[in-house]
Structure 1
Amino acid sequence: MGHNSTATCALVVVDMINAYGHPDAELLLRSVRDVLPGVRTAIDSARAAGVDVIYVNDNFGRWRSHHQELLDMALQGPHADLVKPVAPDEDALFVVKARHSIFYQTPLEYLLQQNGIGHVVLCGQVTEQCILYSALDAHIRHFDVTVVEDGVAHIHADLAQAALRMMERNMGAQLRSAEDLPF
C-alpha cells in the first residue's frame, strides 16, 4: 500500500457517539461544536461517494455494549445535539474499542483488509489522543492516512496543533478540509 493515492478509502468516525460524561468533557465540548459541520460534511461526502463509513467508538467500559446501546445512551444524554447530526445510518459499519487506538484489540484491520481499503480518512475526537494514536497505528500498518483537519476535536489546542504536525510530518498523513476529501 503506502502512499497510493488510488487506494480505496474509508471514512473512520472516531468516538463521536459520546455522552460527554468524562473529566475533560467541558474542555472538549466547545471544540466538538466547532468541528461538527466538518464531521457532518465528511460523512455526507463519503455516503454520496459510496465510500464505507466506519464508526469506531469507545465502549465506555460497558463490556456488554453493542452500537445501538451506545448510540441510545448518547442520544439520551445532555449533549444529544452533538451526536444526532453525525449518528450512523443503516449502511454504516461499527467497531467498538476499549482504548485509545482504533486498532488496539479491535477487528478493524481485518475489516479494512477484507474490504480492500488501503486509505483511512480520520475524523472525530480527540485530536491529540485517539486520532493521533490511531493515525500512528494506521501508518505502521502501511495504511495511507488523511486527517480531516476541520473535523477533529481537541481538548488542548496547543497539543492538537502539535499532534496534527506530527501526523503530517512523521506519519505522512495528509491534512485536508472536509470540503476536499479524496473521495
Structure 2
Amino acid sequence: MARTALVVIDMLNTYEHEDAEVLVRSVREALPGIRTLLGRARAAGAPVVYVNDNFGRWRSHHGEILDAALAGRHADLVEPIAPDEDSLFVVKARHSAFFETPLSYLLDRLDISRVVLCGQVTEQCVLYSALDAHIRHLRVTVADDAVAHIDPGLAEAALRMMERNMAADISPSDRVAFEEDAET
C-alpha cells in the first residue's frame, strides 16, 4: 500500500526579508489551500511534516522557530497553519527540504512512498524539494493552490517543470487524497 505524507515547506516565516511584501500577498492566496491540505491529511491520519528554515539561528528548535514566526509582522499567516502536537518537524538550512536533513530517513521510517508538497516559495524551495523527492523515487504531488511565490512567471514555469520533468501530479488542494491507496 502507498502511504502519503504532507510536507509543509517554510510556512513558519518571520517575513523579515527582501521579498517579503510580494511573498505575503501570495501566501494570503495560498493559505486556504494549505489549511485544506492540513485538514485532509490530519483527518486521514497521514503524517504532517513541517520543514522549515532556521533563519540562521543555529541553536534554534521548532518551538523557537514557531515563536519567532508568531512574533513577526505577519503572525496572521502563521497561526492558522501552525503545527499541532502530532506534527513532525525538520529544520533545514538550504532550499531543498532534503538537502542535509533527516527528511529522507524519516519518510523511509514512516514507509512513505508519496509526498504532497505545499508552502513557499514555489520557484525555489518547493521546486528543489520536488526534484529531490523525485530522485529519491518518491511520487510527488504539488497542490497548486497551496504554494506561494515571489515571481508568478517563474512559479508557473516551476509547476510545469515539476509536472513534466518529475512526473509530479499538480492538483488543487481539494482534490488531493491522503488515504492509503496503491494508486494514489
- TM-score scaled by length of structure 2: 0.96
Note if 1:68 corresponds to 2:76.
Answer: no
Of 22, 27, 42, which residue of structure 2 is paired with 1:27?
A: 22
The CA deviation at 1:27 is 1.0
Deviation at 1:36, TM superposition (A): 0.3
Question: SS state of the match for residue 176, structure 2?
Answer: coil
Matching residue within 101, 113, 125 for 1:118: 113
Letter of the aligned partner of 2:100 in structure 1?
Q
Write out per-residue CA displacement over residues 18-57 of structure 1, whole angstroms, 9 at most, x where no aligned residue. Answer: 0000111111010000010000000011000000000000
Matched AA of 2:103: L
Give the paired residue count. Answer: 178
Counterpart of 2:142 (choices 132, 147, 168) is 147
Query: How far apart are the structure 2 equivalents of 1:44 and 1:29?
Result: 22
CA–CA distance in 2 between the matches of 1:59 and 1:148?
A: 24
Once the two structures are superposed, what CA deviation does each residue of 1:129-155 show, in whole Å capped at 9, x if it has no partner? Answer: 000000000001100000011000000
Output the amino acid matched with 1:87: A
For the pair 1:59 / 2:54, whether they are aligned, the reply is yes
- SS where residue 117 of structure 1 aligns? coil
Displacement of 1:7? 1.8
Residue 43 (structure 2) aligns with: 48
1:145 partner letter: V
1:182 offset after TM fit, Å?
A: 2.2
Trace 1:88-103 onto structure 2 (pairs within 5 A): 88-103=83-98
Cα RMSD, aligned residues only: 0.6
Q: 2 CA distance for matches of 1:20 and 1:75?
A: 11
Measure the CA separation in 1 of the matches of 2:167 and 2:59.
Answer: 37
Identity score, percent: 67
- Following the alignment from structure 1 to structure 2, what is the Cα–Cα distance between the partners of residues 31 and 21? 16
CA distance in 2, matches of 1:153, 1:7: 27
Q: TM-score w.r.t. structure 1 length?
A: 0.96
Displacement of 1:115: 0.5
Show CA shifts across 1:75-115 (max 9, x none). Answer: 01110000000000000000000000000010000000000
Runs of 5+ unmatched residues, structure 2: 179-184
Deviation at 1:176, TM superposition (A): 1.1
Q: Hey, what's the Cα distance between the residues in 1 that align with 2:177 and 2:163?
A: 16
> Any conservation in 1 of the 2:40–2:177 contact (CA below 8 Å)?
no
2:28 is the counterpart of 1:36: no
Give ranges in structure 1 of 5+ residues lacking alignment: 1-5
Which aligned segments of 4 or more residues in structure 1 are displaced greater than 6 angstroms? Answer: none
1:14 maps to 9
CA distance in 2, matches of 1:117, 1:28: 30
